[in-house]
Structures are given as structure tokens and as C-alpha cells.
Structure 1
Amino acid sequence: MREWLAEGDLRSDGLAREVARLVAGNPFMLADLLEALFNGDDVVRGHAADAVERISRGQAQLLGPSLGAFVSQAKSDPVPMVRWHLAMILGNLAADREHMPICTRGLLGLLRDRSPFVKSWAISGLCQIGRGFPARRARILSAIAPLANDPSIAVRHRAAMAVSLLMDPELGMPSSWVKRKG
């Protein structure tokens, strides 16, 4: 599996889609994928994070036991691609009420990340949490609203859209914010 994950570079998905399909169909292989995510070189970790994120779309229950490790790595991994996929994973795992508090704390921390991609995916995940768990909405709004002044136009736009979505539950979530199984 590590050889597949090493294909390509950080500007591509490599064979992450194929690895995700393989592991989704053979969950006993998840340990190998997580080992690559936590201990591989930059390219391997980036592609492993992509594969795990794809699995989180349809089989999030497989990943719950690793939630703490995902949060920890999202704070510390030097590769932005790894961190933004981990932000996406946290957003997906947060749909489970049991995992939502930990995911929320992890995503709130990622709002301070230096990468606009990581911040943007953290905003998307938090927006989904705020809409799914209304009791969290005020806290999430107070964390996202200041990002309207972020240096990145992408972050400013995503923050403004998230505030609108949290204030008006009738608005539909942008399809690009919610990745589907696959």
C-alpha cells in the first residue's frame, strides 16, 4: 500500500482514490493506511490523508477510534495537504454526536492554521456542525465571524458564506463543501 501512496507528488491525488476503494472494501487494511498517515514521508502522508478522507465520507464509523490521533496530527503535521484532509475528516466524523465535541474543538483550533486551505475546510466542517447541532451554533459563529478580515480572500469568502448559512438554516450548503462517498 505504501508504494501506491508514494505515487505522484503533493500536487496530485496519486493513487489515493484506489487505496481508499481497496481499504473500504477490506477494512482489515485500515491499520496499514493509518500507519502510513501517521508515519510516512510527506507524499505518503498526503495521499494517505486523502484516502482516509474518502473513507470518512461513507464509512466514518471505522475511523472513530483514531479521532484523537487525527486531531493531534492536524495540529502538528508540516504538510498543508495532510492538515486540510484531516480537517475534512473531522467535519465528516462530527456527524456522530459522540465525536462532535472533539471534532469541534479540533476544527476550532484549525481556524488559526497558517494555510488558507486548512482554514477553509475547518470553516466548512464547523458550519456543518453548527447546522447539525444548533446548540453549538453561537460558539461557532463567534469563532468564524472574525475570519471576515483574514488576509486570504478565499478564507474571507468562506467565512462570510458560513456566517450566512449559520444564520439562515433554509439556505442550502454549497455542494463543494460536502464531499460525497467516493
Structure 2
Amino acid sequence: MKLSRNLSIALIIIANIAIDQISKVYVRSTMTEGARGKIDVIGDYFQLIWVENEGAFLGMGSDMNPTLKLIFLLILPTIVLGYVIYYIVKTKTLDRLSLIAFCCIVGGGIANVFDRIVLGSVTDFFFIDLGWKLKTGIFNVADLSVTTGMIILIFSNFLSKKKKSTIKS
């Protein structure tokens, strides 16, 4: 049985939101917030550290006044996410990889906006430190979805350009 395109879009977005929200509920119910509740998953290289992020990426904007937070962390992202959903539903020419990428981006974005609306902050808990300057800020599954979506989108764009240049040759 082949799923309709719009049902596939909805399922991918919902799966991204669900996995993120389940992971956050688990972290909030089983961990102690902050560095004292740190769990070493793979030594110092991969750790779980629960923090509540009141800003955006890497806490940027956490010190903004409430009106600016409302505009830049809730209203604008909601408008952008709405537009991307409209775009992927209406643009029937998107290749499968790009469609999956946009769905990951939207699912992760919705999950983090949901946290901001319901909790006033975003629950983050993954931390990777591979030494030297190869370390991340603390992030979550939604951030991973958005980042993965962006990487897939870049890869898909590269593939489609390569295909077009091969066809022209």
C-alpha cells in the first residue's frame, strides 16, 4: 500500500515531534537538572546534561526582553514553519530527499516552539566533546532533526545539480 504524499509528510513531521517530546519527557522525569546530574554515556565524549534553554541556538537570545523573545522565538518561527509546511505540500516537484529534509526541519522546529509555548524554555540534554575544539553546545532531538534536515537538503541540492550537469553533457 502506497501512502499519499500529504500523509507521508504528516507522518514524518509527527514522528520527529513525537521522538523529540518523548525524549524530553524522559529526561525531565529521570535526570537532575544541570552539571551535577550529568550522565557519561561514552566517557567524556558523549554526555547527557539536562538544561532548560530560554533562548535559541546555544542559548542566544536568552537575555532578550519578553517582547523580543515572543517575536523572535515564537511568532517568527511559527510563521516560517507554517510557510515551509505550505511550501512542501504545494510544491509537487520536490524530490524525495528534499521532502524528507523539509519534514525533519519542520518537525524539529515545531517541537522546540511547542516547548517554548508550554514550558517557556526548551529542554536540551545532549553534549558531545571530541576534544580540542570539536565540541557542541547542549542540544536535543529536535535540534538534531533540524540539523539532519539541513544536511540532507544540502546533499539533495548537490545531487540534483550534479544530475542536471550530467544530463546537459
Q: Same fold (TM over 0.5)?
A: no
**Which protein is bigger by CA-based radius of gyration?**
2
TM-score for both structures, normalised by structure 1: 0.23
Structure having the higher strand fraction is 2
Structure having the higher helix fraction is 1
TM-score for both structures, normalised by structure 2: 0.24
